[in-house]
């Protein structure tokens, strides 16, 4: 198991537990994450969820083996299913019934950045490294990446990060609106849990408010689900050309 789920006082903690690869997502790990989200939704006593990575990293994106296999034939049935599993990891987190908070330390890259941006709120370390990462390795972004970035940080920041490969730290992320707060590395999780415990005091209210919040502030002109599919064909092309 590479996803650890614990619950205490109405707050669920979901830990990406593959530090040997900086918590990069595999299809198997992504399916575990989706299953954990299902368990959280089934427990009405949970009002908030904190997502974190082990070993000083949040998530380094999709695992290189998955991307490498996709490069041979991205339209292959098994390959398509594997990438779909990774996309489902962050889209599923985006629909968890509880209030969701990402505690980001170290790198959050590509699909890992998508996972962080899928939450309702982010607390990031000042030294965190946030980057799209797709352009740097010759891939078109996937998973609705442009929507996730632009709905929080605006068009300019999304262009700089996704089109031009700009990397930002936690302080810059907070300035751009990609995070609520940037704090010292050792304070990230404490601050995330402080906020989560406040949200979870009334789990039923927290869940109702999370749903309304997303309905009212949710995706811009192009919906997230549509964006996932819009990006898929050019991403498959970019995988094959590698």
How many domains does the structure of the chain reveal?
Answer: 1
Per-residue pLDDT tens for 143-187?
Answer: 889 999 999 999 999 999 999 999 999 999 999 999 999 999 999
Dihedral-angle region of residue 10 (phi above 0 means left; psi in -120 to 50 means alpha; beta otherwise): left
Per-residue model confidence (pLDDT) at position 230? 75
Residue 117: name the closest of 82, 79, 73, 162 by CA.
162
Is residue 81 scored above 80 in pLDDT? no
Radius of gyration of the chain (CA): 17
Average pLDDT (7-14) is 98
Is residue 73 scored above 70 in pLDDT? no
Report the C-alpha gap between 164 and 168 in whole angstroms.
12
Report the C-alpha gap between 92 and 84 in whole angstroms.
12
Per-residue model confidence (pLDDT) at position 203? 95
Report the C-alpha gap between 212 and 109 in whole angstroms.
29
First to last CA, the chain: 31
Average pLDDT (48-62) is 96
The overall pTM is greater than 0.85: yes
**CATH code, domain carrying 110:** 3.90.226.10
Domain span holding position 134: 3-241
């Amino acid at each position: 198991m590479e996803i650890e789920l614990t619950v205490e006082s109405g707050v669920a903690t979901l830990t990406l537990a593959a530090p040997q690869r900086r918590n990069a997502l595999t299809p198997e790990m992504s399916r575990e994450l989706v299953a954990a989200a299902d368990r959280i939704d089934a427990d009405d006593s949970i009002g908030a969820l904190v997502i974190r990575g082990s070993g000083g990293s949040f998530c380094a994106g999709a695992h290189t083996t998955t991307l490498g296999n996709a490069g041979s034939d991205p339209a292959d049935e098994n390959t398509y299913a594997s990438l779909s599993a990774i996309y489902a990891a962050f889209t599923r987190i985006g629909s968890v019934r509880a209030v969701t908070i990402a505690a980001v330390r170290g790198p959050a890259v590509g699909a890992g950045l998508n996972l962080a941006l899928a939450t309702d709120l982010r607390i990031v370390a000042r030294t965190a490294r946030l980057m799209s990462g797709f352009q740097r390795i010759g891939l078109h972004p996937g998973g609705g990446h442009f929507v996730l970035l632009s709905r929080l940080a605006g068009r300019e920041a999304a262009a700089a990060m996704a089109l031009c490969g700009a990397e930002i730290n936690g302080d810059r992320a907070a300035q751009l609106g990609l995070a609520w707060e940037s704090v010292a590395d050792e304070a990230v999780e404490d601050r995330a849990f402080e906020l989560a415990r406040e949200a979870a005091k009334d789990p039923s209210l927290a869940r109702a408010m999370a749903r309304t919040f997303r309905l009212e502030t949710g995706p811009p002109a192009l919906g997230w689900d549509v964006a996932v599919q819009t990006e898929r064909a050019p991403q498959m092309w970019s995988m094959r050309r590698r």
